[in-house]
Structure 1
């Protein structure tokens, strides 16, 4: 409450607020001067007479607007005291005041004309009780009021504890109070590195309505969610999580996060209440962690093409093996959600070894050269082509080899591979130049029909299937549909 004399009011009031009053005072002063000039009075008597006739009244203003006039300013203070006392029982432990928007201007008049009761009643409705508070601002914009600076610090502390443990916060606070460097991270150790309020947070002592002052817990809720009011939605028939989320500008994951116990497979019940509050945090908290781990460096797989091998053939040139490293990471979490990870330091313990496979690019010739290679691994001719045992023997038999692999005698295409009566397991190769070769009595077959085989390709294993007297290879050569003696074309 501000009490000013009439003369003082002329210096600070806005133009026009008290213009009529000022005019009256000036006029009265002029009349007094005239009277004193024209009539001879004893000055001492005149002053005494004036003090006996002038009365002081008080003009009341709230927020610069005229309310009324009273004769006794102590009545104003009494009304303010009662208003504060009445509110004290409701707002305990708060420092309350009233009348910050009130100003009083005194005036001396000859004939007082006031209505104290009406003015005080009107004034009481315009006066607001205020409490001393601490305003917490975010980026220089007022966000929330708490009781005092202690409540402000408590709110900031609880805000941090929403994202870190008490032990982690203690570690950070202790670290900020010392200049000692941190010990080296141990392998498989994770520790907190920093906590950052991403917005500018400040505070100042103010006066405000006591209804606006909240507890530190509510201040944290408001700062994190942007509201103290929870929006609830009652599930209706046909609702699913996706449609409910979409109606309220949420994703399904956000809706699930707002409702503990709800999953994407939950069956919703009609009338079930869901929290659909759209969170708009006023403050974002970034927490940084350091993590040191030993990790496997996965080896890479490479393919090298080579003309020294036929197309379709592959061979391992070098077996691969994984490496090992020790890496230190800086992990960043914003409002509890990881938003980044970067390597701070890395030490290679074992270098990885690439796995290299050779891939052939050489075109496989499907046309024979006309020069036939020995189809077995060594061995000798145990039976030649000709008449024997009462019938014609259409090829030669090769027995007692050093190995049992049977190979294509010339380039060609496999046209038959499988069982064929007395031949047993047999393979036929068309050499695309009028020649065909047959390989019979095999114990197993490696080639497939349609396969292009160059000279020396393994097509099977020597055996004794079909009509056979023992392990051997029956080998035939056909030229332009006529069987010929293999010995006329074989290179041995």
Structure 2
């Protein structure tokens, strides 16, 4: 009600009552009482309509409201909105203070400004459940059942449903606690699994360019080829496509899933070799007279794996099902002619050893890989006769040399071949140029050594 209308209304009422009371001769008394009542009423009316509250949070002014209820409604609306968004209870620790003041209508804060300031000054937190690993929080989720689902999902990655396990457990100390966290720290089910499995939420992808392979990409991004393989378990490095996206993030899981199971398998029993001397062979040469046969044994073992990688195997039972057969080997005593291979081997090329002899990527690597630039000379490690020079399947352009004394050397993935079958080569002679023909992840020499027809570790003969 405006002040002019209020004054006019009071004046009219006063005239009416004065006329009535004055007829009885008591006008002065009643006029005094009426005036006192009116003064008190007007004072209370204007005082009440001028009262407001300054709202403060931690000493900082948020705004001015007429009634406390006005602010409480906005706070309740914010809590309801956040509860619906995160599907859990919302709390805040800050204390809201109301300080009485006089305020005109135009001094009152607009609701939208109050809401904005409340979001700025109130640290809304959600009731959540944290997954702790060795007392360190690694993820927080809205519901307790969500944490259980996440932990079960992490275990399932390393569990084969077709197998029976004696134990499945986390190596680290894992605990779930109820806590209060900021809304931006709350994780979804998917995000929590990603963090635990990879050790980070970071995603870094690389687009394969023309002419690139795992070796060049790893070198460009300061990674090892093995790390790149781990980061991309579903990608075949020998079948990369241009513009294909590959991950540069090497997973470092925050949890270690241990599985304990009993495995029954067969294992070879190596045969023994018996040597017989003969002057029909050159000294240092050997020839198999009676081929040996490996035996077989059945083993029952307890196998422990961490995140799918075997860390221990304990034999529980062992049973021989086939005995091995001894091999008879003829050993030469005849003095070899001067042109036979003797002395230490040269390295086949100048470069970096990138892969060793033995198990690799679930298979047996038959030699060693020496990475070098395309066109780098490849040299015979010692004297010999070329018994093969041409294309050889996965080896690409390949040279094989019989070096005598039962030794053969193989040089694969060449860009260009410089010798022919039947040609005699000397130690250090350039026989080819480095390339990436056949199945390869980049330019390098694949070098193999056979001794009496059996693959041996080339690093026994060359040094890198």
**Alignment TM-score, normalising by the size of structure 2:** 0.48
Which structure would you say has the larger Rg?
Answer: 1
